[in-house]
Chain A
């Protein structure tokens, strides 16, 4: 049923798209029709595949690094009080800098290759994960902590067996947001300076009026982002089998 609904929505959007193209008689170099994009997808599949692979790797590496670093930060903040007092303000202030503005600097420091894009994606993912997980760690049910105290639990085992599991639903919401924004980091990084990846390909095609290729790249990016989101969502649901909050938006 869910798959059917998704299919109907997809077909509906394509129909709307085609209708707009026919009705407005917009030239193909402004808005190519779906059929032209499909042709570009097939004709340029080798190029598209190579660049997609680069972007996907950047996103996944960024997601992994951002999640690991974000979780470690949240745990540090949650476990050590001094860390909370000193690092929390820095963390909050750091968010006042738009990450996009850092992209040129990252490219300057880390080069044109994948590293600067992974760094960009990592930065974008880091904050939502840290903030959400830390928030979850702070909000442990006080009764559960009382119980742990009465059972002579150490601070560490309380964290390990009670606070972390209890914070996982919050962590999951952070990770869902992070997964949704991760592609932005990679693409912006590629726009600022790169020689490969879908962002690069889009700029490159744009410069040569290959708007159909641009749209093909955009289509792949969308499919990639949606697939990644649902994969992460499914993984999180499995991890949080016990939580009523683990129901995600579409259910």
Chain B
């Protein structure tokens, strides 16, 4: 479907100490993104999920005591693409131009044909020349997915990319993303246990201050998992319990 990284690599993040002001966010935490797998981070809001993702994406300026290592010994920089809760489409560019944004910013040759293919894949070919303002929320996030695929990077870092969508659109987009990003190393930050269970290969719950990560949950079967799957439903109940406990810790 898309050109897949020949040698998938895993990534490990180690934060010895990270504080913002007086708040000690991370102390001696380690976690790993397994090669070619989806890792999900769940946790109450404000716990530090997004910060972990932003550390991976090199979007936190001036950090010390945090190291990110890839198993192939190459730097992660330039090999990860980023998807946020907002679609981050540029309102002055057409959908097609938005998909091509990366190559524009890097002054590379514009692979318009490839962009068209990807827009077709996400069902937006007929909207290629429209401005984002004309698109619905789901269409916009699909355009963002096409833009992410266009970057064609082995690692994809996603920060609640589906949370602003309505339920039906969300399930569709989850399926689409799961299929299209199948063999990539994905970090998905989410507050929705069901989303994590449908898409994740490994699920971590974050809690407390400084943050602790629980031992990962590893749902069986391949993503996207069926909504009726009893294991998914049971997992959801368990995760909700864990999240409630984590939330309790937050309050205390």
Residues of A within 8 A of B (CB): 141, 143-144, 146-154, 157-158, 161-162, 165-166, 168, 242-244
Contacts and interface: CB of A to CB of B under 8 A. Distances in A.
Contact of A146 (B57, B91, B105): B57
A151 B102 contact: yes
Nearest to A141: B88
B131 interface: yes
Contacts of B133: 242, 244
5 contacts: A150-B157, A157-B106, A161-B104, A166-B92, A168-B92
Interface residues of B, number: 25
**3 closest A-B pairs (Cβ-Cβ)?**
A153-B105, A150-B82, A151-B102
Contacts of A157: 104-107
Interface string B73-111: 000011011101010101110000000011011110000
B227 interface: no
A242 B92 contact: yes
B200 to A, nearest CB: 22
B88 A144 contact: yes
Of residues A151, A152, A242, A244, which shows the largest number of chain B Cβ atoms within 10 Å of its Cβ?
A151
Contacts of B157: 150
Grouping DSSP codes into helix (H, G, I), strand (E, B) and loop, the A interface class, with mixed when no group exceeds half, is: helix
A146 B86 contact: no
Of residues B58, B80, B82, B86, which shows the largest number of chain A Cβ atoms within 10 Å of its Cβ?
B82
Contacts of A242: 91-92, 131, 133
Contacts of B101: 147, 151, 161
Grouping DSSP codes into helix (H, G, I), strand (E, B) and loop, the B interface class, with mixed when no group exceeds half, is: loop
A143 B92 contact: no
B130 to A, nearest CB: 11
Contacts of B105: 148, 151-154, 157-158, 161-162
Nearest to B150: A151
Given A157-B106, A161-B104, A150 B92 contact: no
Nearest to A149: B59
A162 B104 CA distance: 11
B91 A149 contact: no
A143 B91 contact: no
A147 B54 CA distance: 11
B92 A165 contact: yes
Contacts of A146: 54, 57, 59, 82, 84, 88
B151 interface: yes
Given A147-B84, A157-B107, A161-B105, A152 B90 contact: no
B57 A150 contact: yes
B106 A152 contact: yes
A169 B104 CA distance: 22
B13 to A, nearest CB: 16
Contacts of A165: 90, 92
A231 to B, nearest CB: 22
A168 to B, nearest CB: 8
A87 B97 CA distance: 36
A152 B151 CA distance: 11
